[in-house]
Each structure stands twice: as C-alpha cells, then as structure tokens.
Amino acid sequence: KPPMLLFSCAVSSAQAPASVPPNDWAHTVKLNNGVAMPLISLGTWQYSPAVAESTVRLGLSLGYNHIDAALDYKNQRSVGKALAEHDRASYFLTTKVPSRTSASSAFADTSKDLAADLEQLGLSYVDLMLVHFPPVGNTLHCAAMQEQWRALETFYRAKKARAIGVSNYCQSSLRCIARAANVTPAVNQIKYHIGMGPDPIGLRSYGDRLGIVTQAYSPLGDGTGELISGALVTGIGAKHNKSGAQVSLRWVVGHGVPVSTKSTSASHLTANLDLFGWEVSAQEKEALDAATSPKGHPSFMCDA
C-alpha cells in the first residue's frame, strides 16, 4: 500500500457567519473544524423542481433541519424557495458541485459552479459544500482534482461555506487532494447501508484516521426492498415496534455515521426521524453488521 498522506490542519480563519445556529442542536456530529452537522438530512435527488420544493417545505415543517441538495439535481431554485420561508439559522444546508477534468480550467469552472449554487439557492453561504464525485478516471485527473479543491478552499476562506468536503471519494481520491490541500475535507458522503459491512473497503476507518466524517447516502439500498421489507430488518423491527426501514437507518447512525434519507411521504419522513431513544441489541447489531446483502460499493467512480 502507498503511505498514507495526512492533510494539514483545517484553516482556522474561516469562521461561521454570525447568523448560524449555536452548536447545541440535538443529534449532531461535530466536524473537524468544530461545526455541528445534524445527523439526519433530507435529500432532494431525482425530484422535479415542484416536488423538491414541496418536499423540502414538508420536511422542514416536520422537524428536519438539514437539507441535502446539489447543482446537478437541477432543482435548487425550488429548494431555495422553500428555504426562504425559514430563518437561515434554523437549518443546515449541504450542496455540491460536479467534478472537473481539466487542470487548467478546474479552478475557474468550479468557482463558477460554487457561485451558481449560492445564486440558485438564494443564499449568501451554505453550511457544507461538497465535490459531488471524482472525475471519470479518478486520479488520472489528479491535478484537476487538486485545483477543484483549491477552489473550495477559496470559497471556504471567503466564508461562503462553513465547511467543505467531498462525496464518492475513495482512499486514492483523498490521497490525491491531500498532496496539495491546506484544508482537510470535513465530510465524505458515500453509499453506506446494511449489506456493505460497517467499514466498506476500509473507507470509513480511513476517514476516521484523517478526521473526515463519513456520511451515508442510499441508506436503504438502491433498487431493492430488502432493507425495508426484508426478513432480517423487519424481524428485528418487530421486537422494537419499529419498521424495517427504521432498523436500517438506525444501524447507520448507530455506527456514528450521519445519514441522508429521502421521501415525499409525511409518514415516512416522520418515521425516518425516529432513530433515537432506542437501540438494537448487541446480538441484533452483530447480525446486521454481518449481512452481505444487498450488495453495494461506497463510490460509483473509484474502487480504493
């Protein structure tokens, strides 16, 4: 294995704007720069603008305080309309910019995308800005990845993001940007669910060693109902008066991993918030940890 390259310490000069909420929200994780991120977020992927707006409005009314968006979702203006009805200090907003492959233009192009995120959302800052995924070819475009990260660092220092991070990055991707980084990514958002094991490809523990919080997307798997209605999760759920989906989500946060979930149903959204104040037993956790189905991989763009 190549030697691990450690990131330098996060820049301390990028302080949160005065209007952000105090770091005493219940059920948060503290990022490596001290920012508190709510453990449960409401995702907006694959929603039309109208559905995105109504879902964010519904989620905020039900008690969600973390919304997950992205430039590539093409619905951020509608997300912004729903957010505009709430005090900026009342929610945490994550969004993303797409990858770039040209080292000569990655900084400028990413800077434009960062500005577009703010403009579309109607915000002066976001709480967490992520690089959505590595480019096709991953570290074959390492110089472009480093330039893109430099653009996020500049955005962070300008106090337009309270924290910055990545998504779908593997160890090789993180090592690439570490060689030029001044700020350690605060978060790596990856696919993470029962069936993949608690530490898929060693990526979660790798992030832990660097101070990078692993965040889960697709916590109920993709294209399968196994983590909603399968025998393992529903059997455990019956013992706790919880649904199979709640067991699957509880497994994620039980490992200290924040989770991004999504639904347009008020009842499902409410149930997805009910992950605290109860636990699976040690024996049940062992069974969930050992599950090998459904299959999944942390990233669709890299392997290690």
Q: Catalytic amino acids?
A: 73
- N- to C-terminal Cα distance for the chain? 11
Is the Cβ–Cβ distance between 89 and 21 less than 8 Å?
yes
* CB-based burial label for 222 (10 Å; 0-12, 13-18, 19+): exposed
Nearest CA among 299, 248, 304 for reference residue 275: 248
Separation CA 117–CA 113 (nearest Å): 6
| Closest to 280 (Cα-Cα) out of 256, 259, 251 | 251
Q: Residue 268, Cα to own-chain centre: how many angstroms? A: 20
Residue 104: which H helix or E strand, with range?
none
d(CA 269, CA 68): 14
Structure tokens at 27: 């059920």
Q: Report d(CA 14, CA 34) in Å as an integer.
A: 11
The answer to whether the peptide bond before residue 219 is cis (omega within 30 degrees of 0) is no
Q: Residue 213 phi/psi, 5° resolution?
A: -75, 130
- How far is Cα 144 from Cα 77, in angstroms, rounded to an integer? 28
CB-based contacts of 18, cutoff 8 Å, min separation 6: none
Residues 61, 97 contacting (CB under 8 angstroms): no
